[in-house]
Amino acid sequence: MKMVDVKPMNKDYQSSLISLLYQLADDDFILAYRGSEWLGLAPHIEEDVAFSSISQDTMGHAAMFYQLLSDLGEGDVDDLAHARPAKVRKNAILLEMVNGPGHYLSKPSYDWAFAVVRNYFYVQAKKVRMESLKNSSYDPLANAALKVNMELYYHLLHWKTWFVQLMQAGGEARKRMEDAIHRVWDDFAGVLSLGPLGKELATFKIIESENILKGKWKQSMKPVFDSVNLLMPEEFGTQSGDGRKGVHIKDLEDALLTLREVYQTDPAASW
């Protein structure tokens, strides 16, 4: 692993920064994993190519954020990604939820409406964060945000196209989309949350406050919602719990068993 000189920093500053980096890394890592389960199962072949490209970018972003953590002395990137137990993971619960009933290798009854809504809403939230992080007081993170942000333009365009098209199709598609939207609302506060150190993050100018970011998210989504006759809710929920505090559901435990299956046979080996 490459070693990076990190300037000595205030203890509180460092712990807030680390808490945010875990959120960013774990969010992308688990959603990219869910994306990789869709491989070969998307609605058509063109989508399979596009979706897997997006998942690959997202996994790449996770790797960048884990690297920033590693540079701050948090350990090896592969251990951070594979070995950590569920209770210390900081991703939002919405992102760890299964794609639908069934297994990725057997009878996957995956829900495309849920995939579109979850990804679209998440990518927009991620975009708002990256825009803010471009001005972060922590330069390495500002630099990473700049790179990530460029790819997000395409991800956002992709999911927005699906969202609008399926919302406007009416009939069964509209109904499935609305069901998915309600599921996503129920846990979307978990995605917008900056965790227990949110205030400190804003004070240290690492990222803007949760409220400002939430406002920006709503502002960018409003015209799209208007165009498909969808009302913006006042508040979002954390019905399944707060992932930022290390609370998770069984879906994450199951995912970890799969994604570390080979790694854990010999974590010290070179793969």
Partner 1 sequence: MSDVIFSNQLTEQEKYGHFLKRIEAGEKIEADDWMPDEYRFTLIKLISMHGISEIMGALPEKEWVPKAPSLKRKLGIMAKVQDEMGHGQLLLRVAEDLMKPLGKTREDIMEDLFSGRLKFHNVFHMEAPTWGDAGLIGWLVDGAAIISQTNMLNASYGPYARALKRICAEEVFHAQHGEAIIMALAEGTNEQRTMVQEAVNRWWEALLMFFGPADASTTGTSKQDITIKYRIRTKTNEELRQDFFSKYIPRVLSLGLTLPDETMHFDKEKEVWVYKQPDWNRFKEIIKNNGPKSKDRLELRKTAYIENQWVREALNMAK
Residues that bind partner 1 (CB under 8 A): 33, 36-37, 39-46, 48-49, 52-53, 55-56, 59-60, 62-63, 66, 77-78, 81-82, 102, 104-110, 112, 165-166, 168-173, 176, 258-259, 261-263, 265-266, 269-271
For residues 148 and 213, which CB has a smaller minimum distance to partner 1 in the complex? 148
Q: Is the dihedral of CA 51, 117, 80, 255 positive or negative?
A: negative
From the CB of 52, what's the least distance to partner 1, in Å? 4
Q: Looking at the chain, how many residues does it have?
A: 271
From the CB of 225, what's the least distance to partner 1, in Å? 19
For residues 39 and 212, which CB has a smaller minimum distance to partner 1 in the complex? 39
CA atoms within a 13 Å half-sphere pointing along the CA-CB vector of 237: 10
From the CB of 42, what's the least distance to partner 1, in Å? 7
From the CB of 104, what's the least distance to partner 1, in Å? 7
From the CB of 71, what's the least distance to partner 1, in Å? 15
Q: Is the dihedral of CA 68, 191, 95, 155 positive or negative?
A: negative
| Residues facing residue 106 across a β-bridge | 103
Three-state secondary structure of 179-247? HHHHHHHHHHHHHHCCCCCHHHHHHCCCCCCHHHHHHHHHHHHHHHHHHCCCCCCCCCCCCCCCHHHCC
Residue 116 amino acid letter: V
